Amino acid sequence: MNVINVHRLDQLETKILTHLQQDGRSSYTALAELCDVAEGTIRKRLRRLESKGVVRIVGVTDPTRTGMGTVAVVWLRAERGRLTEVVSQITALHHAHYVAYTTGASDILAIVTLSSKDELVRFLTNDLGSIGGLTEVETSMVLKTCKQAYAWAPWPTSGSELHPGKGGAWQPDSVDLQIIDYLQKDGRVTFVTIAEALGITESTVRRRVTAILDSGIMQVAAIISPARVGFTTVAMIGIKVERSRLNQVVKELSDMTCVRYLALSTGKYDLIIEVVQESNESLLDFLVGRLEDIPGIVRTDTHLLLKLSKETFDWGVAQGV
């Protein structure tokens, strides 16, 4: 059994993470001034948070700007005795950026991001079709992502979506795409490191990174692990909603700190949310208390996540972008 080592954030660490969620590339000097401590203290604390898996700082692109705007939640069942084998194969698929073992009507849940509906069809028929042991596959197309997991924090936040920047119609070229690739691996990678790797000047990298971030095609996100900060109970909940009250339900759910992901979808659910809680008891309180008090919710199906096999925020870039 895997035991998760929970790290209790102190006041300084909370301040550091709050500032990094606003600007993931904020310098150590700027963070030290904002937190009123020595720069060396900031470096030490941030290294500790990263080494403990509390936070990852990576570049996250806007999939609608990189040609990867087709998103789907896939619910799967596997033959008895082959579950681990099936999950391992799904986890290895590039387009599956979120894969988890679940309870409920499905054994496995995956979220995939692709360039088109045709590519989604190929993924379902070819990629999943080649995996032995799968018995059922049900797909919910994501119509709109209202709240993203990369913006979650264990305190109230605002602004969970990528927003258009000053760049307007700016489009990345091949060098920009290489820079984006480096930032997706390490959002705080230095300009010097990228410049040396690509054989261009530091000033060129600095100018291009600024243009990338200003364009709104990417932001550098400080992604906090819920489990590492004590939110060890995670559930994916499918919700049916009265159509006339859909917008109000979306707003109420979006404002909840415990809701880490929220999407409007097709299929058997109108909304799909990921909820993080500190215990099964607090999840129960959320289900029978807060959800039941929201007017317009007709039905909920709860899928408790037993184990997260994969979570990456590198959606990819479509060919020709």
**4 vs 260, higher pLDDT:** 260
Whether the predicted pLDDT of 195 surpasses 70 = yes
Report the percent of the chain where pLDDT is more than 70: 94
pLDDT per residue as tens digits for the range 91-113 = 999 999 999 999 999 999 999 99
Q: Tell me if 10-52 shares its fold with 70-153+226-311.
A: no
| Helix ranges (DSSP H) in 218-257 | 246-254
**pLDDT confidence tier of residue 3, bands split at 50, 70 and 90:** low
pLDDT at 2: 57
- CA dist 96 and 78 (Å) reads 17
Q: Which CATH class for the 70-153+226-311 domain?
A: alpha beta
- The pLDDT score that the predictor gives to residue 163 is 52
Name the nearest CA neighbour of 155 among 283, 276, 42, 273: 276
For 120, half-sphere exposure in the C-beta direction (CA atoms, 13 angstrom radius) is: 21
Q: Do residues 267 and 239 touch, judged by C-beta distance below 8 A?
A: no
Specify the pTM: 0.93
Cα 310 to Cα 111: distance, rounded to the nearest angstrom: 10
Architecture of domain 10-52: Orthogonal Bundle (1.10)
Is the pLDDT at 70 greater than 50? The verdict is yes
Query: Is the pLDDT assigned to residue 168 strictly greater than 60?
Result: no
pLDDT at 167: 44
Over residues 110-165, the pLDDT tens digits come to 999 999 999 999 999 999 999 999 999 999 999 999 999 999 999 987 654 555 44
**pLDDT of amino acid 160:** 47
Q: What is the DSSP string of 121-138?
A: HHIIIIITTT-TTEEEEE
Residue 194 in this model has a pLDDT that exceeds 50: yes
Instruction: Say what the pLDDT of residue 170 is.
Output: 62
Secondary structure element (H or E) that encloses residue 210, with its range: helix 202-215
* Residue 318 pLDDT: 86
For the chain, the average pLDDT equals 94
In this predicted structure, what is the pLDDT of residue 228? Answer: 97
Question: In the chain, what are the domain boundaries?
Answer: 10-52, 70-153+226-311
Check residue 65 and give its pLDDT: 87
pLDDT tens, position by position, 26-40: 999 999 999 999 999
Rounded CA-CA distance 315/294 in Å is 33
At 112 the pLDDT is: 98
